[in-house]
Amino acid sequence: MTKKWVYLFSEVNDTLKYVGDDWDALKGLLGGKGANLAEMWRIGVSVPHGFTVTTEACNSFLAAGGIFPENMWEQEQEALKKIEEVTGKKFGGPENPLLVSCRSGAKYSMPGMMDTVLNIGLNDDTARDMAALTGDERFVYDSYRRLIQMFGSVVMGVQDEVFEEVITKTRIKAGVKNDSELSAENWKAVTREFKSLFRRHTSRDFPTDPYEQLQLATEAVFKSWNGKRAIDYRNAAGISHNLGTAVSVVTMVFGNMGDDSATGVAMTRNGSTGKRQIEGDYLINAQGEDVVAGIRMTKDIAVLKEDMPAAYKELEDIAKRLEKHYREMQDMEFTIEKGKLWMLQTRDGKRTAQAAVRIAIEMSEEGLISREEAVMRVKPEQVDFFLHPQFDRQAIRVAKAAGHLLSTGLNVSPGAAVGVVALDADVAETWAKKDGKSVIMVRTETKPDDVHGMLASKGIVTSRGGRTSHAALVARQFGKPAVVGVSALDIDINKRLIRVKGITIKEGEVISIDGTTGEVFHGKLTTMVPDIRDPWLIKLLSWADEFKKLGVWANADYPVDAQRARDYGAEGIGLCRTEHMFFETNRLPFVQKMILTDLPIERQEALTALLPFQREDFIGLFRVMNGLPVIIRLLDPPLHEFLPNHIDLIRDVADLKIRLNHAPTMAAINELIDEIRKKERILRRSETLLESNPMLGRRGVRLSLYIPELTLMQVRAIFEAACIVAKEGIDVHPKIMIPLTSHPNELKIQKQVIEEKAKKVMNENGIEIDYKFGTMIELPRAALIADQLAQYVSFASFGTNDLTQTTYGISRDDAESGFLIEYMAKGILPENPFATIDKHGVGELMRIAVEKGKKIKEHLEFGICGEHGGDPQSIMICHELGLNYVSCSPFRVPIARLAAAHAALNDKMNDKMKK
């Protein structure tokens, strides 16, 4: 049986049967555009006749080195004949010519990243026939020149600027501002010039055979799947490279047939805010590419209600219908031909993170989707965009008062960005990736070929374009602050500068943009930590909390961090690193005295001096975390980290001795001698502490056993603080954690020491504190003997950073700036194991530890602390392993809450599928 490569829109029911009534599989076969055109046809929405060449054909074409699969072209020609029959038109024929568009469409939306050719079927003969048929030469030759221009740039690789330059000169000569004002004679002249340009740049004539045009256009769309911009976009969006694109061939309808024709793009809800209102742009007497390319200043879709009230009302009704049908916010393309509305595309709309949250909630409240679906609709990564910097309000006031506000445009993607101006995509990418600069890409309008520069930039500004322009869509997709349509900007690409309000800004100068307000400033504005108390996000996270099983705790060392963590929804402190407190300037001298002395009495004096500091630290934490657990890790790093660098000390001593030889006075000599003795003492002590591999040396529990007085001081500080706040009425729950354990005897000794000191302090204060004793699991051995460790602890926390280092046998600091980059680039490692837990190595050790530990103590608590605790993929692994909680940075807490809900809901969905 002949393989079917081509499906008419009207064959959608047969197509669905072919893929087993699986909508996702249908999109995979016909691409999102083809599947949605067929589906709109099925439900009775006005869609032009057409057909789709499958993604399977594309993949076969690419695999065969650019050869159509057997019978594909014949099937495409046969489908054209059927379109001719139902439309009464003839492809390439006289009197009533059929024109078609050839449009790309992958399974997942990639706006502008692949190619489209419009008006296929036009040549000198059909143009003459259409002009006679319509009585509108201007419309016909406007369409004809578009075909030559798009065919030249898309199929033959001619730079689009070559064609645009001709149009610009024609406008100037005719004395008009807009393309829509050019006459039929103007477009005839442009068409002739385009043919000459085509011949000059391609060494061949423009093809006059409509079938050759369609064949070459189909090939070009297939090839565009592997174009640089498409690959860059897929890499950034996490889309697989093996899906291929479909080709939809659609009967042309024309928005450039006069003032009763138009073309536009509209979203069923606001893509920036999520507000339930149609948002979009349109142009009268234009074709679709004019709108999305940003070449002409568009009209707001709301004005269509006045220009063409009947068409607007129909569009409004279709928008509601499509949103209800797909249960999702839609991004629609439409054309109005002589007052008749045609839908050319619908797809799930790109939106900002803020809009995604609001849309999910409101759709649930409207009954379109469930709460579970609402939570799953928002990606954990999108919550991160709420945490992006915002401009300080005072800084904005000062900048405006100083005249630094350059101009305003459309606020299409929120957030603040500061960077140097880059006037093209290549410069933006080079400066960002190679030079490490923060870049704002400024363009007249962005094109699909600019996507690599857009991805590398911190923000995007265009002088033209509307809310549905290419720049707006890509910026929203990737969370880039963007301001478009800043018409006051005069961008001189040749001189590499911008002029605005009499100010000249050279490429490389700093500007600041606010995608929330649409403002562009000269110079650098200060940013501030955002307030994420967005009511929509708060509601969504509260729903997420209903579904998640994992607790979400935070890593916090100071009260201010703990308060932020609690504000963001943390259910406890999963890691308080006491060493961070020791590095503060008012404490470091006592820490160094403790390290440098050989006398027990001096060491005790230093520890006694440190005790009040530690106690106050814990008091602050306990007060903030009233009613919630606080895990305090005893001192972990090796002692040499608290001393000056060994090499620096050697250099300092040598420098002081040179200065001693040239000291001008006895007083200076004595001062230098004292300094040398002091430095040499530190140097000698530093040398005794030097280890070949300090991260595997005397640190963690080993340090506590080496200096037991240090542990006693920290334990006293913890329990004195707990007793003090308990007397204030604070509900305190300290949990003491021992780092770098590798043997149960270490815990046995430490537990005894801690219990004795805790009991003594509580007796002194006449109060009983509910506390727990636990350990970190950071070494493979600890994971493998978790059953032995479980005898002494009530909880265990995986220190996945060190566990990854010791499992792989690599140093994180060296690897992440060295060979690990190469490993990921070559595909040796699929991802950075320090960013996402290595499921089959580190994850397997964690599974063994949980299994063994719970065999000894059924209710033994397990969690993780460190950066993995805020990574959505790692959170999924933690859920699968049955951990009790994850702990992460306060700023990652909202992300972790949503990721934990996703993990639980995915688990629930998988269970249903198994049944």
Which structure tokens are listed for 784? 């493998």
| Structural contact between residues 441 and 381, judged by C-beta atoms closer than 8 angstroms | no
**The one catalytic residue among 865, 868, 878, 888:** 865
Residue type at 398 in one-letter notation: V
Output the CA angle 847-853-855, nearest 5 degrees. 105
Tokens standing for residue 36: 């949605």
Q: Residue 702 CB: number of other CB atoms within 10 A?
A: 16
Which neighbouring-strand residues pair with 248?
A: 52, 103
Smallest CA-to-CA distance from 447 within 147, 700, 164, 701 is with 164
DSSP state of 1: -
Q: Is 341 in contact with 349 (CB distance < 8 Å)?
A: no
751, 757, 760, 762: CA torsion to nearest 10? -80
Which tokens in the block code for residue 814?
Answer: 């060296």
C-alpha span between 887 and 885 (Å, rounded):
7
The secondary structure of 44-96 as a DSSP string is: T-----EEEE-HHHHHHHHHTTS-PPTTHHHHHHHHHHHHHHHHT-EET-SSS
What contacts 887, CB < 8 A, 6 or more positions away? 552, 553, 554, 555, 572, 573, 574, 575, 631, 797, 863, 864, 865, 866, 869
Task: Fill in the DSSP letter of residue 207.
Answer: P
- Which residue in 629, 636, 621 sits closest to 795, CA to CA? 629
Candidates 592, 596, 593, 588; CA nearest to 685 is: 596
Q: Checking DSSP bridges between strand 50-53 and strand 245-251, what pairing results, if any?
A: antiparallel
Residue among 49, 388, 452, 470 flagged as catalytic: 470
Which stretch of DSSP H or E encloses residue 483? strand 482-484
Nearest of 590, 586, 584 to residue 605 by alpha carbon: 590
Tell which residue, 54, 161, 892, 152, has the closest CA to residue 554: 892
> Is the CB of residue 418 less than 8 Å from the CB of residue 510?
yes
Q: Which amino acid is at 62?
A: L
Can 404 be counted among the known catalytic residues?
no
- HSE of 330 in the Cβ direction (CA atoms, 13 Å)? 26
CA gap 356, 820 in Å, rounded: 35
Active site residue 470: yes
Contacts of 192 (CB under 8 A, 6+ apart): none
Active site residue ranges:
470, 865
